[in-house]
Amino acid sequence: MTTTTSSMTTTTSSMTTTALSDHYSLSDHYNLINDHYNLINDHYSLINDHYSLINDHYSFISDHYSLINDHYNLINDHYNLINDHYNLINDHYSLINDHCNLINDHYNLINDHYSLINGHYNLINDHYSLINDHYNLINDHYSLINDHYNLINDHYSLMKDAMNLLRELLYH
């Protein structure tokens, strides 16, 4: 009878040790999941910070784009004024040409002025082309920022889905 009692005590002790071992293993697993959850939350915060930086950058680019657009409009207005001036000079040139015999010296002065205006017109036209190129570069940069913004947004959605999946795994 002593042997049977000793055998039962050993079996009960062995079952208790196995249950305690499983309990510690489950607890360790829970701690690992909790640490992983905290890491995901930290990563989520970093993604949110990055998202805010991208939004700030987007606002900066948008403001810069507006300034370039305003500058473009000013150059365009200046171009129109120069063009109007050019047309006025051409009209004046025609009048001068009609009276060429009477005012030949005046014609030469106007012709020189016409050349200066035409040179200025060409410089403004070149400047307009440079502004247009810059405008296109800003537009390309804006598209890249928008693509980057969409990638961050997609990453944010993936992280959100991962968090939801982790919650489901933890609580089910």
Would the pLDDT of 7 be above 60? no
> DSSP assignment, residue 100?
T
Decide if pLDDT at 9 tops 80.
Answer: no
| Structural domains counted in the chain | 1
Whether 67 is in a domain gets the answer: yes
Asked, for residue 57, whether it belongs to a domain, the answer is yes
Q: Please check whether residue 13 lies inside any domain of the structure.
A: no
From residue 75, alpha-carbon distances to 17, 68, 78, 94 in Å are 85, 10, 5, 28
User: Which pLDDT does position 172 carry in this prediction?
Assistant: 73
Residue 8 has pLDDT above 50, yes or no: no
State percent of the chain over pLDDT 90. 33
Q: What is the CATH number of the domain that holds 161?
A: 1.10.287.1490
Exposed/middle/buried for residue 102 (C-beta within 10 Å: 0-12, 13-18, 19+): exposed
- pLDDT per residue over 87-114, tens digit each? 998 898 787 677 776 767 767 777 888 9
> Is residue 75 scored above 50 in pLDDT?
yes
| pLDDT tens readout for residues 21-54 | 555 688 999 999 999 999 999 999 989 998 898 8
Residue-range definition of the domain harbouring residue 60: 31-171
Distance CA 73, CA 135 (A): 11
CB 159, CB 47: distance < 8 Å: yes
Q: What is the pLDDT of residue 101?
A: 67
